[in-house]
Amino acid sequence: MSVFDPLGLINHFTSYLKVLLQQIWCSKVDWDDEIENEQHDHWLKWLQQLHEVESIHIPRCYTTKPSIWNEESIQIHIFVDASKNTSAAVAYMRIQTEYKVSCKLLASKTKVAPIKLTSIPRLELIAALIGARLACSIGQSLSNPITKIFYWSDSVTLLRWLRSDAKTTEGQFVAFRIAEIQELSNIGNWRYVPSDLNVADDATKWKKGPSLNMNDRWFKGPEFLLSDEIEWPDDISLQPNPGAEILEAVHHICEPAIKFENFSSWFKILRLTAFVHRGIQVIIKRKIEIILFSKFLMSYEI
């Protein structure tokens, strides 16, 4: 069975079930065995709200006034977010007329996090890529001109990655995704939004469980989009300097890492040198700063 929701209008609701099914599958329960109590409670909570899908009514027409279709009235806003369970992106159309401003839900995309342990910054990067692809698809589908496309994220690490050169990143996973996002979107339009204002959170974090209330911000969009642009959340100033998984220049350490005067045997020095060399290789692999390890060795005496 599958859910027919090509635009992802209730992805914040169905992604909850996708995560639950993944957790059940990872628990290695057989098809005819009972699931755990906690998972069973989550399933009942989702099932009790399923009937509310019938009450959802989303107009197919974005506006009733054709006169508003001009080059200065339409904006697309993409919100992206990720948690340890899901990466999500949701798109809204902001229509500004002479008399009012309205916000309409366009589409959304979600992706369950891989079973293999993945860092939150990488999941945020996946969400950003989903958002960039979603914006590109929307731009190709709409026949009316779009004034501007904004991208919103609450991840500082992600914004630093996007404002850096993809060639300076370590590893193909991060580099290739940054390069594609930079190609699909205008990096200058990526902005910071506080977590409590990020609508994509509704598809990645369920504090009270999923909701299908038509008055929720998922269907109406964030309230700040109904205000003038000057009242939107302030963007933070970020230098394109390295964050996590970004290559850095290793500064020269003036003091020696090993104090040879503390050793009375050549074999002890040789053994510790091999230990230091091996430790540095492990640290580089795990992306831990070498300087911290060096300070530890300076205080090491035999």
pLDDT tens, position by position, 228-250: 888 898 877 765 544 445 444 33
Counting residues of the chain whose pLDDT is more than 70, the rounded percentage is 80
Q: Give pLDDT, residue 280.
A: 74
Give dist(CA 110, CA 62) in Å, integer.
Answer: 23
pLDDT for 222:
92
* Cβ atoms < 10 Å from Cβ of 42: 20
What does the DSSP 8-state code read for residue 32? Answer: T
Query: Mean pLDDT: which of 33-47, 149-163, 244-258 is highest?
Result: 149-163
Tell how many helices (H) and how many strands (E) occur in the chain.
Answer: 8, 5
Query: 80-97 pLDDT, tens per residue?
Result: 999 999 999 999 999 887
**pLDDT at position 9:** 92
Q: Can you give the pLDDT at residue 252?
A: 37
Task: Tell me the pLDDT band of 66, cut-offs 50, 70 and 90.
Answer: low
Query: For residue 208, is pLDDT > 70?
Result: no
**Mean per-residue pLDDT, 40-67:** 80
Mean pLDDT computed over every residue of the chain: 81
Instruction: Point out which residues pair with 74 in neighbouring strands.
Output: 95
Is pLDDT above 70 for 285?
Answer: no
- List, for residues 257-277, the tens digit of each pLDDT value: 666 667 777 777 788 788 777
With 0-12 / 13-18 / 19 or more C-beta atoms within 10 angstroms meaning exposed / middle / buried, residue 164 is: buried
Q: Which amino acid is at 114?
A: P
